[in-house]
Structure 1
Amino acid sequence: MAKHMSRLTPLAAFGLATTMALSACSGSAPTPAASRDLGTPVAGKIKPGSLKGTTLTFASSGGIFQDGQMKSVWNPFAEESGATMQQDAFDPAKTKAMVESGQVSWDIVDAASIQGTMECGTTYQKLDKTQIDFSKIPKGLLADDCSVPSILYGDILVYNTALFGANPPTSFADFFDTKKYPGKRGVNMTTHVEPEILEIALQADGVDPSKLAPADINQAVNKYKSLGNNLVGWTSGAQAQQQLESGEVAMSIVWSGRGFGAAKAGAPVAPMWNQWKIMTDSLLVPTGVKDPQAAFAGLNYFLGSEQQAKSTEATSYAPVNIDAKPNVPEQTAKWLVTSKLDSGTPRNAKFWRENFDALTKAWGDWVTGN
């Protein structure tokens, strides 16, 4: 849970969300899913009143981030569809326990995308893609058969412009070149590392992330080891941001939202977009929900351009609908990844699904000193 929360910016800080009803509906029985005709799905649209009598529960990251999701998407969805929306704080272990016990009380969850990749078809059910309009999602963001991208951000190289403004880094190889670019390097040193971190090291060595082999895992770990005393670990997004703000590190690989947070706080930092790792969080439907059709209708509504624009305005994360036009300050716009997709690469989802245990062991053994 903490890992999933820690990427959030100050505009999306973690706080426990208590379960609460967000819109009331009449006491009439819900329309049976088999008799509903929701029509051809169009992202952001729902037939008025079509889910009257239905209750859905959304579990997400809590705090201001989840409040933004509720205000920009789920409150309007409830009003238009006639459904009652409830919310709770997401916990991956609790989701798994619900599914295993057959007592699933969450209908849609917002999780780290690796969870959809690793647990598609088990904890999370495969989507009925005839009920969701994916046509406005950028190519490459659909990593598996269970996930709908909810926010768009990235693992990026952020550097100190006071040190390197006249000669900025232009590749991940520069991150590891402490002779040309002297100074400390910030790196995510949690045991639950994201695969993107290893792909960054491999790209620095010229390895194509779409053509990975098991031996590449140790190569990536050794690449970080090569930084020696220049490596400064961080274990939360807040710590990563503070390292940039204080000048403790000259460069860092951070979530784009944390780089933006440092810049907004006045730190002399800038992103490198020549290479970056495309990342999303995912909306997922737990296996065993009582009304999958209603959950899929919610996912379809979430993907609308208006909903995505308002969500970006509320959370500072980039929209996942190519037609969304959020009204954000100029500084925020510079850090949104939407217009930078051509220079980014997504994780090799198939490889990491097959080799995630090896990644976890190799990285965990290193950061814990085993």
Structure 2
Amino acid sequence: MHTTSPRRRTIRAVTLGMAAAVALAGCGSSEPEPSATYDLGTPVAGEVPEGVFEGVTLTFAGSGGIFQEGQTTAAWTPFAEVTGATFQQDAFDPGKLKAMVESGNTTWDLVNTTQFDTARFCGTLYEEYDYSKVDISKVPEGTITDDCMVPQILYGLVVAYNTEAFGDNPPTSAADFFDTEKFPGKRTVSMSQYVDPQMLEFAIVADGGDTANLTPEQIPTAMEKYRSLGDDVIGWTSGAQAQQQLESGEAVMGLVWSGRGYGAAAAGAPVAPMWDEWMVMVDSTGIPKGTKNLDAAFAAVNFYGGAEQQATMTEETSYGPINTEAKPELDDTLKTWMTTENLETGHYPNVDFWVENYDALATEWSGWVTGG
């Protein structure tokens, strides 16, 4: 069963290191200065008045690498050129964000984080969106999952398999990933510090479970399913490592981010995606609590969501656009890996469940990544 997440306020911490409880923004510090306001008219995705933010400086904290570079090329640099704003770049760190907000000295205006992060800390670390200031009419259905985000990219947790090993008999289900008799060889899965409930959901789907109706008892069972692979399971702690394992042939299957599977295929590795069952993933554009440029941040998000900007972003980064009218020019390899072409077979996360059961999830995940 494939479920679409309604818009709701929910969920998970980005890393095991983040505290389970977060103090309200500004606690123990002076009130932040009020944000400047501008008359921007009715928002239209991809458009912004010329020269409107002359003298304003915005800072975007992203995930780095080709993705942040592609975003800058597609949206942030053009936004600065049109509006007169200065657009600075930084690296996102959840601990740094928390410290900023709690000290009342927020210097970031936009961040790239997970949908779980914005949902879990909506209203404390992140500003609630005023959706009258952002055109979300072309945003894919089911991808706004809390009141403190709009989607930044669409990607997926997908099975990437070696076509030389399984080209005549490819895997077609989550259960096949765990069937080492029918599909022999090493599998690679996440063992990173980042808690990934969708990896557990994948194991639950493999056992015939319904992600819309999860129970706490399924959490250790799902984790044990990966342990049951024994010597046939290896771990990746970064997307780059997952890609390298696929390229080298060290793993004949991987449960990896779609962009990393594409990277391996684009590098010439005999790797293809399985779209029969996959996990839909969304990154959020969050606005840190206490930004002094709230209207400018909304305008930048609105500009980023334009069809032209999203087409360029996809061409530059390989990640799926968050505007349904975007028409990126895709080569044959990228078409094969494009998540937005396969949304009907994707499973959306049960965010409410993972909020309510985060402590149990974190405990299991800690044991998994430490070999416990």
Aligning the two structures, in what range does the TM-score lie when normalised by the shorter sequence?
0.7 to 0.9
Alpha-carbon displacement from aligned partner over 1:81-113 (angstroms, at most 9, x marks no partner): 232222222222111110000000111111233
What is the distance in 2 between the residues matched to 1:237 and 1:88? 20
User: Partner letter of residue 106 of structure 2?
Assistant: V
Normalised by the size of structure 1, how large is the TM-score?
A: 0.88
What is the distance in 2 between the residues matched to 1:75 and 1:37? 22
Q: Hey, what does 2:238 align to over in structure 1?
A: 236
Pick the aligned partner of 1:307 from 287, 306, 309.
Answer: 309
CA contact (8 A) 1:309 1:327 kept: yes
What is the distance in 2 between the residues matched to 1:67 and 1:232? 30
Pick the aligned partner of 1:334 from 333, 336, 357.
Answer: 336
Pick the aligned partner of 1:57 from 48, 56, 59.
Answer: 59
CA contact (8 A) 2:36 2:292 kept: no
After TM superposition, give the deviation of residue 295 of structure 1 in Å: 0.8
CA contact (8 A) 2:273 2:336 kept: no
After TM superposition, give the deviation of residue 65 of structure 1 in Å: 2.6
CA contact (8 A) 1:190 1:367 kept: yes
Do residues 122 (structure 1) and 124 (structure 2) align? yes
User: Partner letter of residue 344 of structure 2?
Assistant: D
1:10-25 equivalent positions in 2, closer than 5 A: none
After TM superposition, give the deviation of residue 64 of structure 1 in Å: 3.5
What is the distance in 2 between the residues matched to 1:123 and 1:180? 47
User: Partner letter of residue 150 of structure 1?
Assistant: Q
Pick the aligned partner of 2:324 from 322, 331, 344.
Answer: 322
Pick the aligned partner of 1:347 from 306, 330, 349.
Answer: 349
Once superposed, which parts of structure 1, at least 4 consecutive aligned residues long, lie more than 6 Å away? none
What is the distance in 1 between the residues matched to 2:112 and 2:242? 23
What is the distance in 2 between the residues matched to 1:49 and 1:310? 23
* 3-state SS, counterpart of residue 352 of structure 2: helix
Pick the aligned partner of 1:43 from 23, 42, 45.
Answer: 45
What is the distance in 2 between the residues matched to 1:123 and 1:179? 47
User: Partner letter of residue 149 of structure 2?
Assistant: S
Q: Hey, what does 1:22 align to over in structure 2?
A: none
Q: Hey, what does 2:292 align to over in structure 1?
A: 290
After TM superposition, give the deviation of residue 67 of structure 1 in Å: 2.2
What is the distance in 2 between the residues matched to 1:203 and 1:317? 24
Q: Hey, what does 2:190 align to over in structure 1?
A: 188
* 3-state SS, counterpart of residue 151 of structure 1: strand
Alpha-carbon displacement from aligned partner over 1:220-263 (angstroms, at most 9, x marks no partner): 11111221221111212122112211222221100011111111
Q: Unpaired segments of 5 or more residues in structure 1?
A: 5-31
Do residues 104 (structure 1) and 106 (structure 2) align? yes
Alpha-carbon displacement from aligned partner over 1:45-103 (angstroms, at most 9, x marks no partner): 11222223322111112343322211210111122223222222222211111000000
After TM superposition, give the deviation of residue 145 of structure 1 in Å: 1.3
What is the root-mean-square deviation in Å for CA atoms of aligned residues? Answer: 1.7
Q: Hey, what does 1:257 align to over in structure 2?
A: 259
What is the distance in 2 between the residues matched to 1:224 and 1:170? 18
Pick the aligned partner of 1:137 from 139, 156, 166.
Answer: 139
What is the distance in 1 between the residues matched to 2:254 and 2:340? 21
Q: Unpaired segments of 5 or more residues in structure 2?
A: 1-13, 16-34
CA contact (8 A) 2:191 2:368 kept: no
Alignment CA distance shift 1:367-1:78 (3 Å):
closer
Alignment CA distance shift 1:68-1:191 (3 Å):
closer
What is the distance in 2 between the residues matched to 1:218 and 1:118? 22
Q: Hey, what does 1:357 align to over in structure 2?
A: 359
What is the distance in 1 between the residues matched to 2:219 and 2:324? 34
User: Partner letter of residue 272 of structure 1?
Assistant: M
What is the distance in 1 between the residues matched to 2:149 and 2:325? 20
Pick the aligned partner of 2:71 from 69, 82, 91.
Answer: 69
After TM superposition, give the deviation of residue 283 of structure 1 in Å: 0.9
User: Partner letter of residue 41 of structure 1?
Assistant: P
Pick the aligned partner of 2:80 from 78, 81, 98.
Answer: 78
Alpha-carbon displacement from aligned partner over 1:298-356 (angstroms, at most 9, x marks no partner): 11111000000111111121111111111232212221111111111221111112222
Normalised by the size of structure 2, how large is the TM-score?
A: 0.87
Q: Hey, what does 1:163 align to over in structure 2?
A: 165
What is the distance in 1 between the residues matched to 2:260 and 2:71? 19
User: Partner letter of residue 142 of structure 1?
Assistant: I
Q: Which is further off, 60-69 or 339-348?
A: 60-69
Alignment CA distance shift 1:311-1:144 (3 Å):
same
Do residues 215 (structure 1) and 221 (structure 2) align? no
CA contact (8 A) 2:61 2:91 kept: yes
Give % identity. 56
The number of residues matched between the two structures is: 340
What is the distance in 1 between the residues matched to 2:245 and 2:69? 28
User: Partner letter of residue 318 of structure 2?
Assistant: S
What is the distance in 2 between the residues matched to 1:83 and 1:241? 37
CA contact (8 A) 1:155 1:278 kept: yes
What is the distance in 1 between the residues matched to 2:104 and 2:198? 33
* 3-state SS, counterpart of residue 196 of structure 1: helix
* 3-state SS, counterpart of residue 130 of structure 1: helix
CA contact (8 A) 2:143 2:282 kept: yes
Q: Which is further off, 100-109 or 135-144?
A: 135-144
